[in-house]
């Protein structure tokens, strides 16, 4: 019965479950040592990791090195977070035994890990959103064992990183099964992982179809579990007319850079540009076209992504009213050709196909007759990871309603910047209303990503000796707590 | 087209949506005034509210008065919370324009309301978990308009409270549609409310079948939305043998009180008692039987609940190996008869029916051969709202593994208390793994209940004048924030 996915998955989850029963009680210091060792071991892989990832993903060396830095960076960030310890949101409400009409019991609450987490890594981030990516690091930090289903497009890279994590686990005395690496073709193993009763949460980065399928599967389990799927976003950029009339060329250059960055293979790629159809927009388009024409086609992550980009591009350009404005020279079949197109807002509003993601170096300019039409385009927009407004302070002040509208559509609002480039920090919200993600209440990037893999538990009337360290009255860890409704250390 | 549920629901959600666009920007002070006015207007209803609720629910006056206090109490608690303002979890990461290799943008994040919330109130809490219940109060506090689908079992009570909320809204200048009251027979209206695209979250308290149906409906929408359904819990109580050998009678009296409280119509009713089968347990059962036999049958909330209790009781007692230990005198058809039964753990483990909730004054004692079997009973247990251990500190210290196991099964662990009586405070976790609720990550009671109806949004590179007040550098509201990774005011 070797190679039976059900048996293999059963064995893996059994081990994860056993690991959980001890790992969940590991201290912040212990988990921090593990996370830092992961970062060290990834660095110790040296040039082999870089060359393997380059070969498997067609991404350039500088990008892989940068991404490696980001990966080790978030491992160390979560190490610091759990070592410090305040992230558990401890609340202590001491007893009032003489309260009338009924005594108040001693109540204390903190976040605890949810259980084994299954992670499906992203094709477009072979390091930072894959085997030791943000999902893995945040789940391990929370106290959850992790099972990574390797992305077949960068299997060797994934194996190298998995070995580094396993080495780190052994060196720092983590329980066997705290991290497991599973690979195999087809959907069967992934589905079995999500359906297994010991799996308690799922992290996924990929397509809308794939993410939605896992979400449905997880909700149909006898015990439904949360799925954090990051799926689809076209990241609208709104150009305000007065500002654009002054800055058309600069704005166009900046956006061209964002559209073509990494052959457009970012979840935050600006796929939609919305503006009033006036002379400033014409000038903006002229510069954007020049920039795009100067840009080069780039080899995409894998042939499937290149094929899909070509297909979606053809499909989009075949829609009524869509005009190709400019493109780079055509590349070979493995490459993605940067291209910008335009469409009248009236046409855009009637054609839902044009609101769907084209994953690659493409952006669609939506030309609006007036502000009303621009508002309609925003109102009809799906949920997004980001929304950007290009405009100076004075002009945006006159259009505050835009901020009010965009808050409902995206997890991150940007003024005078580009959506690509996702800062890893406490104030980051990388997530957004459906279909950007399946759960707009959680971020996949930054320290708060840990909150996806925890649940609160209250300890009522516990003697001091039986309380978790975080909740003992004398606060031995020195963490921030809400103590009788007062925030203090 | 009058009385067309789809049209009615469409009109209601349209109004809620419009209300949301302004209400979401109301300050904490404004929302606090509204919530306090709700409490005042409920109190102003005086004796009429009490007598109406008594008549519709068969609950005694003292209980209704107590529940009214709890309802106005949580309205004022959420008023204090949003007026103080720190609940938005503000994070400010200021820019590092000279950072190498790339500048760090200014990033600021806070929680914002999710949108209109549909609330289905509980039959068993005509005030505290109904029209102005915890779901309504926390959603309004978050900045979300609320649509309450009135519970048909206490429609007149619901109408009185709805009128009080509407009066409070008018007095404090809230937008029209900030609160709406919908009623009607059958499932059609409820389903239409959950399916409407402007609905962004659902609160529900009731049966497993009802909650699961809404959960599925919400997940099958083109845009899935969160459902916070509190559904089913049998709240296991574990009696440790050494302690029981000393305190059998006292423990039995205490549990008898909890089992029969409010005719057992609490989500936290102790429906399962687990213990080692020894002389102490026999003595415990003897006292429990005496207490239960002395207790009186009580009129249940409505005939449907009484019928269901009678049916489930008959069904449970008909299971192989289940022995009725004692019951009160039989009441009439509208009443629930307190009853305790016992079963061997071996039998219990083989019969899933015995793990299902019997809503009413019933508890099943599971007799275990030894500690191993007791552990098996816990391991096989479903998710619960609460789990209780009765044992002294020294004995529990020898059974710490129990705490480790129970954390995975329940949202609240209690030592030497009863699960009934749910304190409204910051450290409360009223929720638990499925099927206790559909989302173990959130509480339905206490200040953190507000977190069900919000999502984080990041503001990147915003000029000060365009930032929400909570995120302005000078902190005009004086709230706690994580400012460059440091917790401060």
Same domain, yes or no: A316 and A285:
yes
Joined tokens for residue B24: 């979401």
> Which of A415, A430, A457 is at the close of a domain?
A415
Q: Considering the domain boundaries, does residue B455 fall inside one?
A: yes
Burial classification of residue B351, based on how many CB atoms lie within 10 Å of its CB (0-12 exposed, 13-18 middle, 19 or more buried): middle
Percent of chain B with pLDDT over 90: 97
Same domain, yes or no: A448 and A410:
no
Q: Name the residue facing B413 among A224, A425, A459 (closest C-beta).
A: A459
Contact A223 B412 (CB under 8 A): no
Contact B423 A107 (CB under 8 A): yes
B384, B409 in Cβ contact below 8 A?
yes
Instruction: Find chain B residues with C-beta within 8 A of A433's C-beta.
Output: 223, 455
Q: What is the DSSP letter of B103?
A: P
User: What is the SS3 assignment for B202?
Assistant: strand
Give the least confident one: A268-277, B115-124, B181-190: B181-190
Q: Considering the domain boundaries, does residue B432 fall inside one?
A: no
Whether A230 is catalytic is: yes
Instruction: Find chain A residues with C-beta within 8 A of B398's C-beta.
Output: none
Q: DSSP E strands: which ranges in A163-265?
A: 179-182, 201-205, 227-230, 236-239
Q: Of the residues A230, A291, A357, A373, which is catalytic?
A: A230
Residues present in chain A in total: 489
Q: Check residues B243 and A6 and name the one with the higher pLDDT.
A: B243
Contact A425 B93 (CB under 8 A): yes
Q: Is the peptide bond before B462 cis (omega within 30 degrees of 0)?
A: no
Same domain, yes or no: A245 and A279:
yes
Q: Is beta strand B236-239 parallel, antiparallel or unpaired with respect to B117-120?
A: unpaired
pTM value is 0.97
Calculate mean pLDDT across residues B427-444: 97
Percent of chain B with pLDDT over 70: 99
CA gap B164, A481 in Å, rounded: 37
Joined tokens for residue A363: 């952006």
Q: Considering the domain boundaries, does residue A432 fall inside one?
A: no
Instruction: Find chain B residues with C-beta within 8 A of A92's C-beta.
Output: 427
Res. B2 pLDDT band, cuts 50 70 90? very low
Contact B441 A226 (CB under 8 A): yes
Answer whether residue B5 shows pLDDT above 90: no
Look up the CATH number of the domain holding residue B224. 3.40.605.10
**Which residue in A445, A460, A472, A487 has the most chain B C-beta atoms within 10 A of its own C-beta, making it the best mutation to test that interface?**
A460
Q: Is beta strand A339-344 parallel, antiparallel or unpaired with respect to B384-390?
A: unpaired
Q: Tell me the nearest-neighbour CA distance from A303 into chain B, angstroms.
A: 30
Q: Considering the domain boundaries, does residue B365 fall inside one?
A: yes
Question: What is the torsional sign of CA A9, A10, A13, A15?
Answer: negative
Q: Name the residue facing A112 among B107, B396, B407 (closest C-beta).
A: B407
Instruction: Find chain A residues with C-beta within 8 A of B115's C-beta.
Output: 408
Answer whether residue A460 shows pLDDT above 60: yes
HSE-CB for B69 with a 13 A CA cutoff: 10
Q: Which of A297, A274, A442, A440 is nearest to A349 (CA)?
A: A274
B487, A487 in Cβ contact below 8 A?
yes
Contact B114 A215 (CB under 8 A): no
Q: Is the peptide bond before B101 cis (omega within 30 degrees of 0)?
A: yes
- pLDDT mean across residues, chain A: 96
Contact B459 A109 (CB under 8 A): no
**Which residue in A458, A459, A481, A482 has the most chain B C-beta atoms within 10 A of its own C-beta, making it the best mutation to test that interface?**
A458
CA dihedral of residues A378, A380, A383, A385 (deg, nearest 10): -30
Q: Considering the domain boundaries, does residue B434 fall inside one?
A: no
> Which of B399, B415, B431 is at the close of a domain?
B415
Answer whether residue B436 shows pLDDT above 70: yes
Q: Which of B283, B289, B292 is nearest to B248 (CA)?
A: B283
pLDDT 10s digits, B261-305: 999 999 999 999 999 999 999 999 999 999 999 999 999 999 999
Joined tokens for residue B132: 């102005």
Instruction: Find chain B residues with C-beta within 8 A of A425's C-beta.
Output: 93, 104, 107
Contact A397 B480 (CB under 8 A): no
Q: Considering the domain boundaries, does residue A431 fall inside one?
A: no
Q: Can you say whether residue B298 is alpha, beta or left, with left for phi > 0 and alpha for psi between -120 and 50 degrees?
A: beta
| Residue appearing with tokens 């619960």 | B384
Same domain, yes or no: B246 and B227:
no
pLDDT 10s digits, A175-204: 999 999 999 877 899 999 999 999 999 999
Same domain, yes or no: A335 and A366:
yes
| Residue appearing with tokens 């429906």 | B271
> Which of B364, B398, B415 is at the close of a domain?
B415
User: Which H/E stretch holds residue B386?
Assistant: strand B384-390
pLDDT 10s digits, A232-259: 999 999 999 999 999 999 999 999 999 9
Contact B413 A443 (CB under 8 A): no
Instruction: Find chain A residues with C-beta within 8 A of B434's C-beta.
Output: 223-224
Q: Which of A55, A57, A53 is nearest to A68 (CA)?
A: A53
Contact A461 B414 (CB under 8 A): yes
In sequence order, the β-bridge partners of residue A201 are A117
Calculate mean pLDDT across residues B149-156: 95
pLDDT 10s digits, A66-90: 999 999 999 999 999 999 999 999 9
A122, A232 in Cβ contact below 8 A?
no
CA gap B229, B437 in Å, rounded: 5
Q: A with B: how many residue pairs have Cβ under 8 Å apart?
A: 193
CA gap A155, B468 in Å, rounded: 45
Q: Tell me the nearest-neighbour CA distance from A419 into chain B, angstroms.
A: 10
pLDDT 10s digits, A8-53: 999 999 999 999 999 999 999 999 999 999 999 999 999 999 999 9
Spatial neighbors of A462 by CB under 8 A, at least 6 apart, are A106, A108, A471, B413, B415
Count of CB atoms within 10 A of residue A489's CB?
A: 11
For chain B, what is the domain count? 2
Answer whether residue A2 shows pLDDT above 60: no
ipTM above 0.95, yes or no: yes
User: What is the SS3 assignment for A264?
Assistant: helix
Contact A426 B91 (CB under 8 A): yes
Joined tokens for residue B409: 């099964």
pLDDT for res A321? 98
Calculate mean pLDDT across residues B72-77: 98
CA gap A410, A432 in Å, rounded: 5
**Which residue in A21, A114, A427, A473 has the most chain B C-beta atoms within 10 A of its own C-beta, making it the best mutation to test that interface?**
A427
Instruction: Find chain B residues with C-beta within 8 A of A420's C-beta.
Output: none
Same domain, yes or no: A380 and A451:
no
Whether A8 is catalytic is: no
Q: Name the residue facing B219 among A25, A219, A223 (closest C-beta).
A: A219
Q: Tell me the nearest-neighbour CA distance from B368 into chain A, angstroms.
A: 23
Q: Considering the domain boundaries, does residue B423 fall inside one?
A: no
Same domain, yes or no: A88 and A60:
yes
Cα-flanking dihedrals φ and ψ of residue B300, to 5°? -85, 175
pLDDT for res B3? 58
CA gap B21, B194 in Å, rounded: 20
Instruction: Find chain B residues with C-beta within 8 A of A378's C-beta.
Output: none
pLDDT for res A348? 98
Contact B466 A400 (CB under 8 A): yes
A376, A336 in Cβ contact below 8 A?
no
**Which residue in B84, B449, B458 has the most chain A C-beta atoms within 10 A of its own C-beta, making it the best mutation to test that interface?**
B458
Contact B439 A226 (CB under 8 A): yes
pLDDT for res B6? 84
Same domain, yes or no: B191 and B122:
yes
Q: Which of B191, B388, B351, B339 is nearest to A460 (CA)?
A: B388
pLDDT for res A3? 58
Q: Tell me the nearest-neighbour CA distance from A25 into chain B, angstroms.
A: 9
Calculate mean pLDDT across residues B373-389: 97
Same domain, yes or no: A207 and A249:
no
Contact B487 A487 (CB under 8 A): yes
Please give the residue range of the domain that contains residue A317.
236-415
Look up the CATH number of the domain holding residue B369. 3.40.309.10
| Residue appearing with tokens 């845009």 | B223
Sheet arrangement for strand B201-205: B179-182, B146-149, B117-120, B201-205, B227-230
Answer whether residue A1 shows pLDDT above 60: no
Q: Is the peptide bond before A435 cis (omega within 30 degrees of 0)?
A: yes
Same domain, yes or no: B15 and B120:
yes
Joined tokens for residue A30: 């212990």
A236, A272 in Cβ contact below 8 A?
yes
Same domain, yes or no: B198 and B336:
no
CA gap A173, A26 in Å, rounded: 10
Nearest residue of chain A to residue B77 (CA atoms): A485
Q: Which of A228, A7, A21 is nearest to A145 (CA)?
A: A21
| Residue appearing with tokens 């049998």 | B234
Q: Of the residues A144, A267, A325, A373, which is catalytic?
A: A267
Q: Considering the domain boundaries, does residue A428 fall inside one?
A: no
Cα-flanking dihedrals φ and ψ of residue A440, to 5°? -70, -5
Spatial neighbors of A348 by CB under 8 A, at least 6 apart, are A321, A354, A355, A364, A366, A377
What distances in angstroms separate CA B341 from CA A443, B313, B347, B362, B390, one per listed residue? 48, 10, 13, 8, 19
User: What is the SS3 assignment for A107?
Assistant: strand
| Residue appearing with tokens 């039989």 | B330
Q: Which of A206, A463, A52 is nearest to B397 (CA)?
A: A463
Q: Of the residues B56, B67, B230, B373, which is catalytic?
A: B230
Q: What is the DSSP letter of A89?
A: -
Same domain, yes or no: A139 and A280:
no
Nearest residue of chain B to residue A410 (CA atoms): B457
Contact A397 B465 (CB under 8 A): yes
Q: Name the residue facing A107 among B101, B428, B459 (closest C-beta).
A: B428
Instruction: Find chain A residues with C-beta within 8 A of B431's C-beta.
Output: 456
pLDDT 10s digits, B168-213: 999 999 999 999 999 987 789 999 999 999 999 999 999 999 999 9
């Amino acid at each position: 019965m070797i190679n039976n996915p059900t048996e293999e998955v059963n064995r893996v989850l059994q081990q994860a479950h056993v690991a959980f029963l001890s790992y969940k009680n590991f201290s912040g210091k212990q988990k921090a040592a593990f996370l830092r060792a992961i970062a060290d071991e990834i660095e110790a892989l040296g040039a082999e990791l870089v060359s393997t990832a380059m070969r498997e993903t067609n991404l350039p060396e500088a990008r892989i090195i940068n991404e490696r830095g980001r990966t080790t960076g978030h491992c160390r960030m979560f190490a610091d977070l759990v070592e410090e310890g305040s992230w558990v949101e401890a609340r202590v409400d001491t007893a009032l035994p003489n309260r009338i009409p009924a005594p108040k019991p001693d109540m204390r609450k903190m976040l605890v890990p949810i259980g084994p987490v299954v992670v499906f890594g992203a094709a477009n981030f072979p390091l930072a959103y894959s085997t030791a990516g943000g999902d893995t690091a945040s789940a391990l930090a929370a106290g959850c064992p992790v099972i990574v289903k390797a992305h077949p497009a960068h299997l060797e890279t994934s194996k190298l990183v998995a070995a580094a994590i396993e080495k780190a686990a052994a060196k720092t005395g983590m329980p066997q099964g705290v991290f497991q690496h599973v690979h195999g073709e087809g959907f069967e193993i992934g589905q079995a992982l999500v359906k297994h009763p010991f799996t308690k949460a799922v992290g996924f980065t990929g397509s809308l179809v794939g993410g939605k399928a896992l979400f449905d599967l997880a909700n149909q389990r006898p015990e439904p579990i949360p799925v954090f799927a990051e799926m689809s976003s076209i990241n609208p950029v709104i150009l305000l007319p007065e500002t654009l009339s002054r800055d058309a060329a600069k704005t166009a250059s900046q956006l061209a850079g964002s559209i073509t960055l990494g052959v457009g293979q970012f979840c935050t790629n600006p796929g939609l540009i919305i503006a009033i159809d006036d002379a400033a927009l014409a000038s903006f388009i002229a510069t954007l076209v020049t920039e795009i024409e100067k840009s080069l086609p780039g080899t995409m992550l894998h042939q499937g992504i290149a094929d899909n980009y070509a297909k979606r591009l053809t499909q989009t350009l075949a829609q009524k009213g869509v005009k190709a404005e400019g493109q780079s020279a055509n590349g070979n079949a493995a490459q993605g050709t940067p291209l910008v197109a335009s469409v009248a807002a009236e046409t855009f509003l009637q054609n839902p196909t044009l609101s769907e993601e084209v994953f690659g170096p493409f952006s669609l300019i939506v030309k609006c007759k007036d502000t009303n039409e621009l508002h309609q385009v925003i109102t009809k927009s799906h949920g997004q990871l980001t929304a950007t407004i290009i405009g100076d302070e004075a002009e945006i002040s006159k259009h505050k309603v835009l901020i009010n509208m965009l808050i409902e559509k995206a997890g991150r609002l940007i003024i005078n910047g580009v959506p690509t480039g996702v800062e890893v920090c406490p104030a980051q919200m990388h997530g957004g209303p459906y279909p950007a993600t399946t759960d707009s209440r959680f971020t996949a990037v930054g320290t708060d990503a840990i909150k996806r893999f925890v649940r609160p538990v209250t300890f009522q009337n516990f003697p001091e000796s039986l309380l978790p360290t975080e909740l003992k009255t004398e606060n031995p860890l020195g963490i921030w707590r809400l103590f009788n409704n007062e925030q203090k250390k």
